[in-house]
Structure 1
């Protein structure tokens, strides 16, 4: 297992879960992926954040939901690496996005901000300090992909290009055109696609987070055993692998991917 010590600007670098029940979410993902959990506390001893580890390497994070999200299910958040949060914030506003949380320091760990793109999708950025991002990714039991699904794909493509300088390699897929973010060291930095026709209106535009697994069917069965829900799949995606859409025991949505064998 190789350890990463940083990410190029414009590359997704971290994922974390905001949950109304940190203990329940910790237990679910620990049992599903075999993760360990380390809590961070403030000076008064209150838990402020939980870091998930796989074989001692940092893979993801977990925090409690703020009061304004009371009643909402857990949400996995995508963070994109930046060298300058303040400069990125100015680009977001110029490109038609909104600043949900202005740039702030996270102790000595780094600097972050949270935005919504023009269609209301939440996206976060991270300027690394002591925390460089996930130490392991693109391996079984770790985060592996980020995917935007939106009802305004043309505006989204332009927005993320203006903010992060993304370019795209587009391909035809059964569900429509798929736009892979060019660059990165694993065949792309993520993907964007139009919301498939017939998707219920209750499904919002969103960034989906994928975790890699060795066996999608076994992982899906385990989700059910742990009180989660199978939303779709597992299904085979030619040339990609076997994937499923799942809900954790608190209703938070995530994806799993068993990669297709390399030719």
Structure 2
């Protein structure tokens, strides 16, 4: 007898995965940064047990997690992470967003770092995928792997997600506008004028419904656009600043460092090399 899973199918159809970065490599690094994307690290090897770790500096009290081979680590977006990667650490890394509603990530509001064991076969498959050729089949496998891992790191129910989606429908046009139009010149006053609302009702209603202040949402959206440009184009800081409406390269770099703890140049070098 067939059993229809209509709700499950509809919910899966509404998910939107945006992969901003994927790599396999080694690291010898100590520092801290904040990213506007969720991060997954699959640790393959370490040469110095108990010395390599990640720590959540945004959590209170702080959370420190030792990196162990054969384990996968999840760090939700917008958390400040302290890294201590000793020589010999090899890993596969994914940076991504998983939207359940336009502009709303599945892991919004989450702050805890999560560790899970994975099999040797899974770790090997992830490494081989990163070393494979660039073709559509491998891109599909990459998405499938991130979806599979993401399912390990959320305990949100379909009912809770659907309730959240229903509440946010009123603000869907505003979220869509921000996602499409937002740059460094976009202001709350522009949104008030465009949607014919008072500043107080827009700001208060948005924060209560979406869960973050409107200005914070706009800043996070702009930061995602900046990081996407840094990771997927060859544009320099001056060109990105001009494209995203910053008045100068100086203010662009100051904005980026304020919200990530890194300069644009250091961010690009750290992620891509």
TM-score normalised according to structure 1 size:
0.27
Larger proportion of helix: 2
Whichever of the two has the greater Rg, that structure is 2
TM-score normalised according to structure 2 size:
0.26
